[in-house]
Each structure stands twice: as C-alpha cells, then as structure tokens.
C-alpha cells in the first residue's frame, strides 16, 4: 500500500528527479508530484512523494525531515487528506461569501431621484 508524504520548503530549482533520487535512499518511490503554479508553471515549493510501504515512509520521514537540500531544510510528514473547498468565494455556507455584504447586481447608496 502506497503512503503519500508531504515534502515542503523546497527550492524552486528542485526537480521531480531530484526528489525521486533522494527518497529512493529510504525505499521504493511510487510517484513524485511537484505542485506548480497553473499560469507560470513554476514550482510552489512543495511536493508529494508516494512511498511503497508504511515502513519506507517512516524511514523517509526520519531521514529527510530537516534534511538540508539546496540550502533549505526540508519539511517531510505524512500527507493529510485534501480539504473540500468552495468553488469560489461566493459558494460557502454564509450565503453572501466573504466579499461584499450586498448583492453585486444591485446599486446601493446615493439619493433617490424624484422627478
């Protein structure tokens, strides 16, 4: 069973191959996924590494949490499940969203014109 690990505080120059090579010292690496900005394609400074077993994942955490890679101390931990997020800021439980407190299509303020 594969175990997914979060790897944070990465240099923007770190590649998936660099992580695969490093983590293979702890065991079998099933996959490496660098998280990148959708628009620029630049790394966001974190990745997910899937290890082949629970014991290999624990070994990787022990070896590489605090490990110095490209003058940066890595943060390695078990990945948490992805949280459900609203599609946009207006789709949350509060109805109005966190933006304005009024309907966007309605004009507000000002004096009423009387003819």
Coil vs helix vs strand at 70? coil
In the chain, at which residue ranges do the beta strands (DSSP E only) sit?
3-8, 29-36, 43-51, 68-69, 72-73, 75-78
Overall average pLDDT of the 2-25 stretch: 96
Average pLDDT (55-72) is 96
| Token pair 């923007």 in the structure block, residue | 12
Question: Mean per-residue pLDDT for 26-44?
Answer: 95
Mean pLDDT of 8-12: 96
Full set of structural domains in the chain with CATH? 3-73 (3.30.70.330)
In this prediction the pTM is 0.72
């Amino acid at each position: 069973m594969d175990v997914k690990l979060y790897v944070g505080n990465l240099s923007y120059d770190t590649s998936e191959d660099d992580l695969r090579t490093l983590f293979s010292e702890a065991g079998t690496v099933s996959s490496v996924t660098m998280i990148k900005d959708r628009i620029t394609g630049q790394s966001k400074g974190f990745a997910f590494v899937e290890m082949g077993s629970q014991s290999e994942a624990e070994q990787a955490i022990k070896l590489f949490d605090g490990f110095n890679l490209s003058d940066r101390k890595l943060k390695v931990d078990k990945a948490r499940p992805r949280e459900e997020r609203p599609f946009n800021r207006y789709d949350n439980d509060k109805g109005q969203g966190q933006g304005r407190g009024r309907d966007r299509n309605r004009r507000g303020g000002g004096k009423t014109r009387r003819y």
